[in-house]
Amino acid sequence: MSRFLNRQYESLEPYTPGEQPKTEGLIKLNTNENPYGPSPKVLEVLNQTEISKLMLYPDPEVSVLVQAIADYYQLETEQVMVGNGSDEILAFSFMAFQNENRDIYFPEPSYGFYKVYGDIFRAKCHPIPLKEDLSIDTKKYKNLQGTIIIANPGAPTGIALNLADIEDILKSNGSNLVIIDEAYIDFGAKSCVPFLQKYDNLLVVQTFSKSRSLAGARVGFAMGSRELISDLNRIKFSFNPYNLNRLSILAAAEAIKDDAYFQKTREAIIRTRQEIAEQMRALGFTVLPSSANFIFAKSDRLSGKEYFDGLRKRKILVRHFEKDPVSDFVRITIGKEDDMKELLNITRELLEAKDSKDLLERTEV
């Protein structure tokens, strides 16, 4: 820490991203990337001609992409804004709507960035514990005094909310902003975008990182009332008007237009998820009902840490959160079928190794 750091940030605890391994040969199931890669249309559009235009600034309005998203969701272009990943959209939202006099409510555990942004933009955070079954306790979100932010499907559980429950939250919080983070919405849950017609306190945030296979391009977007979107643009144009680079704009616009590829890859991930969940349950795992591109699972035989470490040694990377009430779980991204077969094989070996170790210990006693 230098002597120049703003005192306000001395105790700031930054977000911990999942590991991006530098070595080859690992099966990477730890950061919910899409195993299928971007649409072939994306590969086509990122050509020499476009690369040779990189000396030019990108369109600060990002019109091509905003239009493509508005078309997809049948919204006005004034109801859409894009950001450098949905993380940036979330940061702009906190900048625009939070301060020391407006608190923020979110489930705990949830996406780690909510607390980090709360801290950096000086909003008092109120984490609301999950229910015993790790679903969100929607009753606790009625008539609050501050902004509400909820991931649907939930992170890191993958559990989806009912639209009726979200609508109740919107209705009972008419004077509060409600942000629904739909990073995983395309893997089986229902979007609350249609509620934008009725509720001006709703902001929906989505990303191209998961269902559109563009995590490396950094593209996220917000949908809301014209007024909310104009507030976000006020921040964006005061902070980083060229927030999306030329190539990412083109890539994302092609990705959202290629519906056939989107449907095919999304369905493959959903199918693989259902298979792996079933097979893990057969091995004695508790697997939460997931509507995302990952499963959240715990073994009755291995602790979360043991399972994580065992997989890591065998070159499979998953995510483990060292905090209650989820420390016994690991989060496993849905990869290609072969990767999931390997995961299952190694999981069986780890369970067998644990069994024989236990047996040995018992005979020693």
Ligand X SMILES: *Cc1c(COP(=O)(O)O)cnc(C)c1O
Please give the Cα distance from 161 to 153 (Å, whole number).
7
Residue from 65, 66, 179, 183 that binds ligand X (CB under 6 A)?
183
Q: Residue 111 interacts with ligand X (CB under 6 A)?
A: yes
Residue 82 or residue 196: which is nearer to ligand X going by CB?
Answer: 82
Q: Which residue is nearest to ligand X (CB)?
A: 85
Beta strands 329-333 and 294-298, pairing class: antiparallel
Residue 76 is encoded by which pair of tokens?
Answer: 């006005």
Residue from 45, 215, 235, 283 that binds ligand X (CB under 6 A)?
215
Residue 214 is encoded by which pair of tokens?
Answer: 């563009």
Is residue 301 packed enough to be buried (19+ CB in 10 Å), middle (13-18) or exposed (0-12)?
Answer: middle
Closest CA to 244 of 115, 109, 66, 117: 66
Binding region for ligand X (CB under 6 A) out of 52-60, 81-89, 259-267, 278-286: 81-89
Binding region for ligand X (CB under 6 A) out of 138-146, 207-215, 339-347, 356-364: 207-215
The SS3 of residue 102 is strand
Shortest gap between Cβ of 252 and ligand X (angstroms)? Answer: 11
Please give the Cα distance from 281 to 174 (Å, whole number).
42
Residue from 34, 79, 86, 93 that binds ligand X (CB under 6 A)?
86
Residue 109 or residue 310: which is nearer to ligand X going by CB?
Answer: 109
Shortest gap between Cβ of 93 and ligand X (angstroms)? Answer: 12
Residue 254 or residue 351: which is nearer to ligand X going by CB?
Answer: 254
Closest CA to 154 of 145, 141, 142, 171: 141
Please give the Cα distance from 148 to 190 (Å, whole number).
19
Residue from 155, 166, 189, 251 that binds ligand X (CB under 6 A)?
155
Q: Residue 109 interacts with ligand X (CB under 6 A)?
A: no
Question: How far lies 267's CA from each of 252, 271, 274, 291, in Å?
Answer: 20, 6, 11, 12
Q: How many residues bind ligand X (CB under 6 A)?
A: 12
Residue from 220, 224, 304, 310 that binds ligand X (CB under 6 A)?
220
Q: Are 46 and 251 in contact (CB under 8 A)?
A: yes
Q: Residue 222 interacts with ligand X (CB under 6 A)?
A: no
Residue 42 is encoded by which pair of tokens?
Answer: 């994306």
Residue 155 or residue 343: which is nearer to ligand X going by CB?
Answer: 155
Residue from 85, 146, 158, 310 that binds ligand X (CB under 6 A)?
85
Residues of the shown chain interacting with ligand X in the complex, contacts defined by CB under 6 A:
85-87, 111, 151, 155, 181, 183, 207, 209, 215, 220
